[in-house]
A and B are shown apart, each in its own frame.
Chain A
Amino acid sequence: MKNRIKYWKGIEELENTPEFQKNAQNEFPEFLPVNENGEEASSGKTKRRDFLKLLGFSMAAVSLASCEAPVRKAIPYLNKPVDVEPGVANWYASTFFKNGDYNSILVKTREGRPIKVEPNTSSSLTLGTGPRAQASLLDLYDNNRLRFPVIKGDEAEWEEVDRQIVERLANVTGKVAFVSSTIISPTTKKLIREFGSRFSNFEHVTYDANSATGLLAANGGVIPGYDFSKAKVIVSVGADFLGSWLAPVIFAKQYVETRRVNPEAPAMSRHYQFETWLSLSGANADVRVPIKPSEHSAVVAAIYQAVTGNNGGAPASAVTESPVLAAAIKELKANRGRALLVCGSNDPNVQAMVTAINDAVGAVGSTIDPAAPYYVKQGNDANMLRLIKEMNAGQVGAVFFYDANPVYHHPLTEAVVSGLAKVPLKVSFADRVEETAAFCDYVTPDHHYLESWNDYEPRKGYYSFAQPAISPIFTTRQMQDSLLTWLGTNILYYDYLKDNWRSAERGDFDSYDKFWEQLIHDGVYESQTGTIALDIVNDFEPVTPVARPVKGGPGIEAVLYEKMTIGTGEMANNPWLQELPDPISKATWGNYVCMPRDMAEEMGVTQGEVLRVTMENGKTIELPALMQPGQAKGTVSIAVGYGRKVQSMPVAYQLGENAWPLAQVVDGIILYSGNVKLEKTDALHPIAQQQTHHTVMDRLVVQESTLSQYLENPLEVTEYIKIATADGPKKPALVSLWDDYEYKDHHWGMVIDLNSCIGCGACVVSCQVENNIPVVGKAEVLNRREMHWLRIDRYYSAVEHEEGDFVAMEDPAENPSVIFQPMLCQHCNHAPCETVCPVAATMHSSDGLNQMVYNRCVGTRYCANNCPYKVRRFNWFSYANNDKFDYHMNDDLGKMVLNPDVTVRGRGVMEKCTFCVQRIQLGKLEAKRENRRPKDGEIVSACAQSCPTNAIVFGDMKDPDSKVSQLLAREHQSRAFHVLEELNTQPNVTYLTKIRNLA
């Protein structure tokens, strides 16, 4: 047996706390009573009389119910649309774009309602989708969206709103400002410009909550055309490009192209990450160095000096002397034309140095495509700051807010509020009354993007479109249509859009209508000649590549970061996103102060203790502490996007605290870090973390190796456990109690490449949407009762694992390496759950599936107890139709998102991953209807389809030409392994060992 790496899931497992031990021993938490009146919380027992009452009532209910079946109605269409067939899904190409997160998508609709978002494979920018795109579907059915326009808080008619706004716009004095987050729609921008031309003094102010002004200022107003797929060396200084920086789904696709290994081309990029908080990119990096926020400029300056020979002006520190930085610099220089440096700092001077470095290492033309920059962030902090000043000076006559909520996420909230009071006409296009809209005279709610027409240009020459997948649910109106109405035209935005695209190159199409139909059908259009140009304004101050003096010092430094689940907070009312665990901390429902363990020990803080954080600018928030391995020493990090305190966001209401005000405004830019003071309070606030809920008890579940070992011998990177028998050690499968199944038709299988999996969680949400999985809420997550069928296990291990003995290491939690493992039902051929079910509610099918029959299950939970992978979930409550679980499943509107092909499970039954059997059955049926065998790739599980990096491959293992079969054949005895093979469960899910390109 080779020297095994020791993995742990969280600090509590590393330290083996009593709490952890207790949880590890019990599959289910002890019976937790649900006490409605709270009187006898201590007893937690049902009284005899109550029991009899319940018994009597239920008997009566059952006998009544059995007497007569309810009369059900069958209501057909009055006039059936030609292309809608009841029971058959329709697909529409569309686009999801929010705060840089760009996804080209297909929308699946059934009977006219969107029920699933899937990636549009025609797009060459993205492979899959991110978790937010998946979850965006639920926002459409959000009961708290405005159902009508609002005048000063009261419901109004559109005609009245239009009349008043037009009248007041005609008499406006002073500046008219249109405030928006980044708009990448060429036609929308043109329309806004046209709207503005009506006024003598008009400004379109673009500002991003999580700003990239520094980067834009250093690169002529656009984001350089990064292409990670061409890089051999990637150095990131504080840029979480896989999780939250700019366009993560696009970057993930490019990044993974350099991370896949196979015997024919055993090459990988090497990824260095210098960062403060353990980000998703840091978790995937080969070499990660924790640094303080104040050291970012020093690191960049050191590279700048080494590469260009110019002095960056930052003082040397411990980090600049580190051998890892020297190695990174060496590799950057050695890989001319194959290297890329990215930096997350919003300091224009630092970004200017980054640009100079990339120029010097020959990135331009290879890893940066100068002809195809990105447009996903365009905000200029200075413009917004100027507007706030002008508002306060009373120079602004009217202001419009579109996808912008400065009262919530601008650091100068008070100034924004006081300024708004001095603006006579304030209009918000928000879909609900959020923080800014509450101060506006008019709220003219915009459509959800799935109800809208639009075009998008996330990167130069790469266009995509959005088309309505449902007719508007409420009496809302698309922002563009509102503008057109106020312009006094009768044109619909659809016609405006179509007309604007007339100048596009038509190619072989003989008529424009045909070309247009094709555009909308495909959803994407890629043309470098780009006659439909996005209007880009470069009004940034020129910058010099010299680091500004940093206010470092001995104090504790804090950094604000964007979670890849909640993002900047626009989608905070989305229960799917709230329950999706953070990829690293595995925490749900709220934010917290991440701190390194030694700081917690020093301060005597335990997990969940509430700390008061005071920023240099005097702003204070109180949040619980969370010990985060890998957090840089002397720093804390706090996620933004929480602390929504508006009634229109009941899901997010009072979850966590708003960290945006902690950001600082320095020289016209917003910086998301600074020095803080931490104080202990007496309060305790539990954090709902999922990390150690389903522990695998220190068994060999996840495997990794290094590229050098892989190059030496690809057949020795994975450990295969043998079982001792009388005839010597044998493969576990050869020593079996059970007969093997014979598969004649299909044998469904899945391969998960741990090298490609970046741990983003898109698959988790995708699975949740596809399979009607309930959201359980914070309290139930704390009770370890989350329902996700697919979870992503995140394991820490010591970076220095090659040295073996981890006890000898000083502190393994200081900078651990991270490995992600999506864990779902393994569909074992010799399934332990099947043999213990007393009612045969779980059994094997003739195509290799481990079936779960809800209507047969009586809820003994033996199966979950006997499952070594801990992937079975029990319905403790009837989550649908329950007032206590107000997460969309209990209201009529929210129910529209449910997949009609999947049963909504009742209370008291077990459930688990089905390999998306509804898709398998449908795929088989489609093939039978066409008198042929199913084609590989036609039948895929939701997780595999949504994965932004193609880490999950699903298919028929009986088909020798399927991708799954070929992968398995290629990786046999090399990287392919089964989790817990020694138990001889013979899973149908195979993992591929992760390979790290260690320096």
Chain B
Amino acid sequence: MISCIPKIKAKVFFAFLFSLVVSFGALAQGAAEQAQVSDEGVVPGAAEGAVEAANAGGLPVDDPAIVSAGNQLFKNNCAVCHSAGSDVIVGPGLAGINERRSQDWLLKWIKNSQALIQAGDAEAVAVYNEYNKQAMPSFNFKDEEIVSILTYIKSAEAEVAAVPTTVGSGEDQPAGENVGTDAIGAVGNYLDIILVVLILVLIVLIVTLLLISSVLKGYLNKNRQLDEFDNEVVNQRFDFSKIYKSKVVRSLVGLIFVVVLLDLTLGYAMGVGIQQGYQPKQPIAFSHKLHAGEHQINCNYCHTTVYESQSASIPSANICMNCHSQIKTESPEIQKIYRAIERGRPIEWVRIHNLPDLAYFNHSQHTQVGGVECETCHGPIQEMDVVYQYSPLTMGWCINCHRETPLNTEGNGYYDKLVELHEKSSRGTFTVASNGGTECARCHY
């Protein structure tokens, strides 16, 4: 029992180190991601010029601005049903589409496929019939936007060719997404191994010493050359009653007992209401590991308001139906969604992350403005079959992050003057806290 204190402490310490590294890793990654995204966002007219280039002959594959704009549009609009490779999701894979169809035809089709079908276009009708008469929705794109998407598809083909192992649509995610997590995992394992080895060495040492002492004792007794005094020293008998009769030992044990008791009580009391690790059973066995991990579906696809609203929002059944009207329709879990829709009764998920009413939290503040990654607070969600509460969600945890995290001020006109002022007055990092981020009324009102 006594040994559990340092163990707990050590655990806490390691957990702290771990979370620190995770958050820094995530931050660094966040910054990198943000830079990339902002590049895309800052060039609103990136797709412009695409049409001219396309008309001039061939798609402007070399223009990274057009390709990345196309990438963004593709992810947001097309990736739900189409892959940029050759596999079929809902609609056909789009690899080689530029060769298969003329650009004019594609423009018409994407803008209004039904019109084309009704006009009796042979190619259109054929595609329509091939894919179970599943109509493709109309997209109100400008010509240059469509060209940029097509350019992106073409450039993706080239990449696939270069790296034949990666296939599929969403796999263009930056590699090493969880560098931070992995790195820490590695550090943790390494320390564990050292500890185990050290303990083994220690046991071996003790055993060896005991063996040596018993061999020596046997040898001395065998010789029978010992006088009485020596004999007493060698064959000493230990009186255990002395130990528990000793006042010092008794008071020491008593003290330790009290300290441990207090520590445990305090520990438990502080833990009241903290549901870290809370992993309730959900009405539908939805797996984030499968969707976010294996299929790499962007969090934003289902949690639609995570960049816009205080609530990330739990997807409504119609979002599930975007894919599951076609995919895995026979699965008993998916059947549950159909039943919910038929009965007109929404699915009652069990809420995992419960903040008290007195604390106000806003997702968009953190995700869009702060550039914080989902994993920073929600943990390795892409590895969770059943989601659990990864962070403690205590005020100390919030405040700590606000104290340590540098503000994501880059490119945000709101902060320009504040950064300037901060640089004049202080040499420290411009953290969330230094902009008032630990004040009461930022979260409590």
**Which residues does A use to contact B, with CB under 8 Å?**
66, 69, 71-80, 85-88, 744-745, 843, 845-847, 849, 851-856, 901-904, 914, 917-918, 921, 924-925, 927-929, 931-934
Distance of A854 Cα from B441 Cα, bound (Å)? 10
- CB <8 Å contact, A87 and B439: no
The residue in chain A whose Cβ has the minimal distance to the Cβ of B350 is A71
Chain A interface: which of B106-114, B160-168, B232-240, B315-323?
A: B315-323
Option from B319, B354, B358, B421 in Cβ contact (under 8 Å) with A72: B354
Query: Can you list 21 contacts pairing A with B, beta carbon distance less than 8 Å?
Result: A69-B273, A72-B350, A73-B348, A77-B316, A77-B346, A78-B317, A78-B346, A79-B316, A85-B304, A744-B418, A846-B436, A853-B440, A903-B357, A903-B444, A917-B445, A921-B442, A928-B369, A928-B412, A928-B414, A931-B413, A933-B414
- CB <8 Å contact, A853 and B314: no
Interface residues in B419-443 (C-beta closer than 8 Å to A):
421-422, 435-436, 439-442
> Chain B 270-308, CB within 8 Å of chain A: the 1/0 string?
001101001010000000000000000000000011001
- CB <8 Å contact, A78 and B344: yes
- CB <8 Å contact, B412 and A931: yes
- CB <8 Å contact, A86 and B318: no
Chain A interface: which of B7-15, B77-85, B210-218, B359-367?
A: B359-367
- CB <8 Å contact, A74 and B314: yes
Contacts of B344 in A (CB 8 A): 78
Distance of A438 Cα from B220 Cα, bound (Å)? 115
Check if B36 is an interface residue, CB within 8 A of chain A: no
Distance of A346 Cα from B351 Cα, bound (Å)? 62
- CB <8 Å contact, A69 and B360: no
- CB <8 Å contact, A914 and B369: no
The residue in chain B whose Cβ has the minimal distance to the Cβ of A914 is B445
Option from B313, B351, B364 in Cβ contact (under 8 Å) with A73: B351
Contacts of B369 in A (CB 8 A): 925, 928-929
- CB <8 Å contact, B273 and A76: no
- CB <8 Å contact, A76 and B440: no
- CB <8 Å contact, B441 and A849: yes
- CB <8 Å contact, B436 and A745: yes
Distance of A619 Cα from B311 Cα, bound (Å)? 60
The residue in chain A whose Cβ has the minimal distance to the Cβ of B442 is A921
Distance of A928 Cα from B411 Cα, bound (Å)? 10
- CB <8 Å contact, A925 and B364: yes
- CB <8 Å contact, B358 and A855: yes
The residue in chain B whose Cβ has the minimal distance to the Cβ of A69 is B275
Contacts of A72 in B (CB 8 A): 350-351, 354
Distance of A86 Cα from B275 Cα, bound (Å)? 25
Contacts of B304 in A (CB 8 A): 80, 85
Min C-beta distance of A68 to chain B, whole Å = 10
Check if B76 is an interface residue, CB within 8 A of chain A: no
Contacts of A744 in B (CB 8 A): 418, 421-422
Given A86-B313, A932-B414, verify A75-B445 contact (CB < 8 Å). no
Check if B368 is an interface residue, CB within 8 A of chain A: yes
- CB <8 Å contact, A927 and B418: no
- CB <8 Å contact, B411 and A931: yes
- CB <8 Å contact, B421 and A846: no
Distance of A852 Cα from B364 Cα, bound (Å)? 25
Distance of A857 Cα from B354 Cα, bound (Å)? 22
Distance of A69 Cα from B351 Cα, bound (Å)? 11
A-B interface, 4 closest residue pairs, ranked by CB to CB distance from nearest: A87-B309, A846-B436, A851-B441, A87-B311
> Chain B 391-417, CB within 8 Å of chain A: the 1/0 string?
000000000000000000001111100
Min C-beta distance of A22 to chain B, whole Å = 35
Given A928-B414, A933-B414, verify A76-B358 contact (CB < 8 Å). no
Most buried by A among B280, B413, B435: B413
Option from A86, A87, A904 in Cβ contact (under 8 Å) with B357: A904
Distance of A853 Cα from B341 Cα, bound (Å)? 43
Check if B141 is an interface residue, CB within 8 A of chain A: no
Distance of A902 Cα from B358 Cα, bound (Å)? 8
- For the complex, count residues of B whose C-beta is within 8 A of A: 54
**Could you list 5 further interchain pairs (A-B, Cβ under 8 angstroms) beyond the known A71-B350, A74-B314?**
A73-B348, A80-B318, A745-B418, A925-B362, A932-B414
- CB <8 Å contact, A86 and B309: yes
- CB <8 Å contact, B358 and A932: no
Given A77-B316, A903-B445, verify A851-B439 contact (CB < 8 Å). yes
Check if B133 is an interface residue, CB within 8 A of chain A: no
Min C-beta distance of B35 to chain A, whole Å = 14
Contacts of B318 in A (CB 8 A): 77-80
- CB <8 Å contact, B340 and A78: yes
Check if B345 is an interface residue, CB within 8 A of chain A: yes
- CB <8 Å contact, A847 and B313: no
Contacts of A853 in B (CB 8 A): 440-441, 444
Distance of A180 Cα from B316 Cα, bound (Å)? 45
Contacts of B442 in A (CB 8 A): 845, 921
Distance of A192 Cα from B347 Cα, bound (Å)? 45
Most buried by B among A87, A846, A914: A87
- CB <8 Å contact, B358 and A903: yes
- CB <8 Å contact, B414 and A87: no
Contacts of A74 in B (CB 8 A): 314, 348-351
Option from A76, A86, A927 in Cβ contact (under 8 Å) with B346: A76
Distance of A766 Cα from B273 Cα, bound (Å)? 36
Distance of A87 Cα from B303 Cα, bound (Å)? 13
Distance of A36 Cα from B422 Cα, bound (Å)? 59
Min C-beta distance of A573 to chain B, whole Å = 28
Check if B310 is an interface residue, CB within 8 A of chain A: yes
Distance of A843 Cα from B441 Cα, bound (Å)? 9
Option from A851, A918, A927 in Cβ contact (under 8 Å) with B440: A851
Min C-beta distance of A899 to chain B, whole Å = 10
- CB <8 Å contact, B414 and A76: no
Given A77-B316, A853-B444, verify A69-B354 contact (CB < 8 Å). yes
The residue in chain A whose Cβ has the minimal distance to the Cβ of B439 is A845
The residue in chain B whose Cβ has the minimal distance to the Cβ of A77 is B316
Distance of A843 Cα from B444 Cα, bound (Å)? 12
Interface residues in B71-91 (C-beta closer than 8 Å to A):
none
The residue in chain B whose Cβ has the minimal distance to the Cβ of A916 is B445
- CB <8 Å contact, A932 and B348: no
Contacts of B440 in A (CB 8 A): 843, 845, 851, 853, 856
Contacts of A71 in B (CB 8 A): 280, 350-351
- CB <8 Å contact, B317 and A85: no
Most buried by A among B304, B341, B364, B414: B414
The residue in chain B whose Cβ has the minimal distance to the Cβ of A73 is B348
Option from A76, A849, A929, A932 in Cβ contact (under 8 Å) with B364: A929
Min C-beta distance of B307 to chain A, whole Å = 8
Contacts of A88 in B (CB 8 A): 305, 308-309
- CB <8 Å contact, A902 and B445: yes
Contacts of B365 in A (CB 8 A): 925, 928
Distance of A999 Cα from B378 Cα, bound (Å)? 71
Distance of A338 Cα from B208 Cα, bound (Å)? 114
The residue in chain A whose Cβ has the minimal distance to the Cβ of B436 is A846
The residue in chain A whose Cβ has the minimal distance to the Cβ of B317 is A78
Distance of A901 Cα from B444 Cα, bound (Å)? 10
Option from A78, A904, A917, A933 in Cβ contact (under 8 Å) with B441: A917
- CB <8 Å contact, B311 and A86: yes
Contacts of B435 in A (CB 8 A): 745, 846
Option from B273, B309, B345, B346 in Cβ contact (under 8 Å) with A66: B273
- CB <8 Å contact, A933 and B413: yes
Contacts of A925 in B (CB 8 A): 362, 364-365, 369
Distance of A74 Cα from B283 Cα, bound (Å)? 11
Distance of A878 Cα from B259 Cα, bound (Å)? 40
Min C-beta distance of A956 to chain B, whole Å = 13
Distance of A924 Cα from B442 Cα, bound (Å)? 11
Option from A76, A847, A934 in Cβ contact (under 8 Å) with B314: A76
Distance of A492 Cα from B334 Cα, bound (Å)? 39
The residue in chain A whose Cβ has the minimal distance to the Cβ of B411 is A931
Min C-beta distance of A728 to chain B, whole Å = 35
The residue in chain A whose Cβ has the minimal distance to the Cβ of B435 is A745
